[in-house]
Amino acid sequence: MLLNSTYMKGWALLLFFALTSSLSNAQECPNPDMPGAGQNNVPVETMISWEEVTGITGYIISIGTTFGGDDIINEQPTGSDPFFSPPLGLPESTEIFVTITLFFFDQPDIICESYSFFTENVTTPPACTAVSSPPDMAVDVNVGTNIVWDYAPKAIGYRITIGTAPGLGDIENNLDVGNTLSYDPPTDFPPGTTIYVEVNPYNENGNATNCAEQSFTTGEIGDPPACTMLKSPLDGEPNVPLTPLIEWFPAPGATGYRLYVGTSPFNNDVLDGVVFTATSTFVIDFDPNTTYWIRIVPFNKAGEAQGCPQESFSTILGCGPFIDPDTGELIDLNPEINFPEVVGICENNIPTRISTEDTAEGFRWYFINQFGEEVLISEEAFVDISETGFYVYEAYNTIDSKGESIECISSQEFEVRLSSKAVIEEIQIGQVADLFYIDVEVSGLGDYEFSIESSDGPYQDFSIFNALTIGNYTLYVRDKNGCGITEKDFRIAKPPTGFPPYFSPNGDGFNDFWQYVKPDDNPILVKSIFIYDRFGKLLANFGRASRGWDGMYNNNPMPSGGYWFKATTRDNRVIKGYFSLVR
């Protein structure tokens, strides 16, 4: 759907007005994917997923043990990810209720109806886990650091041992910290010291065994820096341009900053701990209509700042698709294109001009070279192509949203193949009962379609025509890539009396042999019969007393198709004709 330029310029502002009740009625909530509603015996470590909804900013999930409950997970955003893994797993042998909320930045959310499933009964101890923070063998770690570890599937609690030597446990010795994934020691670790940590999961069936010990080394004496916060964009800011310069306030005493950016609170899929010494990033190209989560962690020789919060912002709506607040319909400003995946160029018409009838403000055509690089070859609605290979076609519209100029692009990669007009090699005619069929054999470089009605069609992809009667016909073979139509006249007539039009040597007891069958009227006194393929090669010869040809040559079955016969009579007349072998 294309909008006029005045409407498009105001669209980004309009979309941030409050949604009307009609939007809530028009927008459909997603169906559960895995686990399905009502599913039984679901693993406690399962990842919950649902169908993706187009045109929204993100999702919020709540999980509980009652309808609409949130005692397990309370309104956790998942970004644009239609899936979520509960960080502590799920309780066993329990009915679990899931509530998905469709999230629109600075607009009313749509809360979907809860659905439920039932978890398994756990009968085995959990496996071991690993400490994720500080990373194993890390150095210059903050003396006030917390210990964080990964979820161990089926665990309901963890015991932690911490010491200044392997297995010593002089700081904490097999301390039960409950069902949590972090531990904050009551006192700071000693500076400049290697610390050894072992975390052991457990459940009612027993403890994890042979879990590995990990270590890290604390930083020098001194104070690590405090946390900082975003300066631009501001935390929670909507309608952020797609190429912003991210800036933050300096943290006193910091020598650097680690930046984490992702499209959900759990995945740093844009930047994952990239170090900056300044208080701003290079320009990042963001996607439109997306919420991004960002965490900035200052550090110095004494270690990293602890407990730095996660902030977020939302980008401009861009090209869509996004939801019209008045109608609940999806708006997509990308051009609608209709371009094939394969294009033919005719061998007698090079270069061949290929054009598009799509409606858009601009076009681009690229050739993909041997190195996989896209080389621009045209910026018109057409391109002249002289060689086969792979190409990319782009159509685009340009919009101005919040002062940001955006190209809304639709594209199609396509292959160019050499094509040609067809050559009709043979038209094989066969008979079934009182009707006839033809099987056409053609050659050439093209992709062909067939008609016996008219040069204008209708055409079919198959080279066989059935249920034909006696008469005169014209066969038309058209190259799908536009390289021309070949035509040939042919006639269907009854074969000479007594010579069958076809046989089928399939062992079913019917028509397994081809032989002259003496008719009741005007029989021919046949002396011998010779069978040839279409190239004139002799395949068999037999007399009147033989059962006939069984469709074999040198003990190998011959393929379906047309064959020729030559019969000689007792008075030395020669009769020639054509028949079909059908398998």
pLDDT of residue 5: 33
Strand residue runs (E) in 142-193: 147-149, 157-163, 172-178, 182-183
Q: Which amino acid is at 273?
A: G
Q: CA 275 to CA 273: how far, in whole Å?
A: 6
Tokens describing residue 390 = 């792979």
Query: 423-492 is classed in which CATH architecture?
Result: Sandwich (2.60)
- Residue 354 pairs in a beta bridge with 383
pLDDT of residue 105: 65
pLDDT digits (tens, 9 = 90+) for 216-257: 999 887 888 999 999 999 998 888 888 888 999 999 999 999
Q: CA 378 to CA 397: how far, in whole Å?
A: 17
CB 351 within 8 A of CB 359: no
Question: So where are the chain's domains?
Answer: 31-118, 131-218, 342-419, 423-492, 502-581
CB 185 within 8 A of CB 171: yes
Judge whether 31-118 and 502-581 match in fold: yes
pLDDT of residue 19: 34
* Torsion sign across C-alpha atoms 257, 271, 285, 374: positive
Is 342-419 assigned to CATH 2.60.40?
Answer: yes
Three-class SS state of 236? coil
Residue at token pair 């398998």: 583
Residues of the chain with pLDDT under 50: 1-26
Q: CA 509 to CA 559: how far, in whole Å?
A: 19
pLDDT of residue 1: 27
The separation between CA 318 and the C-alpha centre of its own chain, rounded to angstroms, equals 23
The separation between CA 127 and the C-alpha centre of its own chain, rounded to angstroms, equals 33
CB 281 within 8 A of CB 246: yes
How many other CB atoms are there within 10 angstroms of residue 454's CB atom? Answer: 10
Q: CA 165 to CA 555: how far, in whole Å?
A: 82
Residue at token pair 């294309």: 2
Q: Which amino acid is at 370?
A: Q
Q: CA 72 to CA 332: how far, in whole Å?
A: 37
Q: What's the full length of the chain, in residues? A: 583
pLDDT of residue 11: 34
pLDDT of residue 122: 97
Q: CA 547 to CA 555: how far, in whole Å?
A: 17
Q: Which fold has domain 31-118?
A: Immunoglobulin-like (2.60.40)
CATH code given to domain 502-581: 2.60.40
pLDDT of residue 522: 74
The separation between CA 407 and the C-alpha centre of its own chain, rounded to angstroms, equals 24
Three-class SS state of 313? strand
Residue at token pair 């001009």: 353
Is 131-218 assigned to CATH 2.60.40.10?
Answer: yes
